[in-house]
Amino acid sequence: MATKSVVAEVREITLAIELIELGARLQLLEAETSLSRDRLIKLYKELKGVSPPKGMLPFSTDWFMTWQPNIHSSLFHGIYRFMAANDKSQPTIHAIVKSYRLYLEHAALYGDEPVLSLTRAWTLVRYFESGMLQTNVCTRCRGRFVAHAYELRAGYVCGLCQPPSRAGKTRKAGADREAGRIAA
């Protein structure tokens, strides 16, 4: 009996370490593990060298609707749907971790800075589970994109097919273009 509880605790600690290394906030750790708050704080400090960040978790679905976050959220959610559908034996958090790792690999492969944090990815899944978000199919590319629940679906065009006028005009993009002109 004692061996099973030790094994279970080791699994919880391993999961907490993995989540902390991926940037999880304390509230996510508390929700997904059975470890005490004090133990999680100590573990966080040991791994990161600093106290966990304070403050509330994201609580609005609106962040996921803006142009770049919507594209990244939709990519992550597509990966997550595939992972969850093909490995139903694992708890949701394991599918989220696997999906998030693939999302990070995809972003790195294409030289993009990841927009989605693990905490936002976890929150996104919870919003879908609670019925606050859904996916809409783009009428042009047929891709599935994150949208508010009960939003009109007819004629939906995604942010990739019809980017906003300021898309890609961030400070970083401007600095990269300027650096390209100077180097040339």
Annotated binding-site residue? 158 = yes
CA distances from 140 to 36, 133, 160 (A): 49, 21, 10
Q: Between the CA atoms of 149, 154, 159 and 160, what dihedral angle is there, to the nearest 10 degrees?
A: 130
Position 184 scores a pLDDT of 43
Name which of 51, 64, 62, 56 is nearest 28 in CA terms.
56
The sign of the CA dihedral 139, 144, 148, 153 is: positive
Q: Tell me the backbone φ, ψ of residue 136, rounded to 5 degrees.
A: -110, 145
147 and 123 part of one domain: yes
Position 8 scores a pLDDT of 87
Q: Rounded CA gap, 88 and 146, in Å?
A: 22
Q: Which pLDDT band, with edges at 50, 70 and 90, does 172 fall under?
A: low
* pLDDT, average across residues 27-55: 94
Residue-number span of the structural domain to which 142 is assigned: 62-176
79 and 24 part of one domain: no
Please indicate, yes or no, if residue 184 is contained in any of the structural domains.
Answer: no
pTM of the predicted model as reported, rounded to 2 decimal places? 0.85
111 and 151 part of one domain: yes
- Amino acid symbol at 3: T
Please indicate, yes or no, if residue 53 is contained in any of the structural domains.
Answer: no
* pLDDT, average across residues 133-162: 92
For 132, residues 6+ apart whose C-beta sits below 8 A from its C-beta are: 61, 148, 149
3-state secondary structure of 148: strand
* pLDDT, average across residues 159-182: 67
Average per-residue pLDDT in the chain? 88
Please indicate, yes or no, if residue 183 is contained in any of the structural domains.
Answer: no
Summarize pLDDT for 88-144 with one digit per residue, the tens: 888 899 999 999 999 999 999 988 899 999 999 999 999 999 999 999 999 999 999
Summarize pLDDT for 117-130 with one digit per residue, the tens: 999 999 999 999 99
* pLDDT, average across residues 78-82: 96
Please indicate, yes or no, if residue 54 is contained in any of the structural domains.
Answer: no
Annotated binding-site residue? 122 = no
pLDDT higher than threshold 70 for residue 161: yes
Please indicate, yes or no, if residue 57 is contained in any of the structural domains.
Answer: no
Annotated binding-site residue? 71 = no
Annotated binding-site residue? 141 = yes
Please indicate, yes or no, if residue 154 is contained in any of the structural domains.
Answer: yes
How many domains does the chain divide into? 2
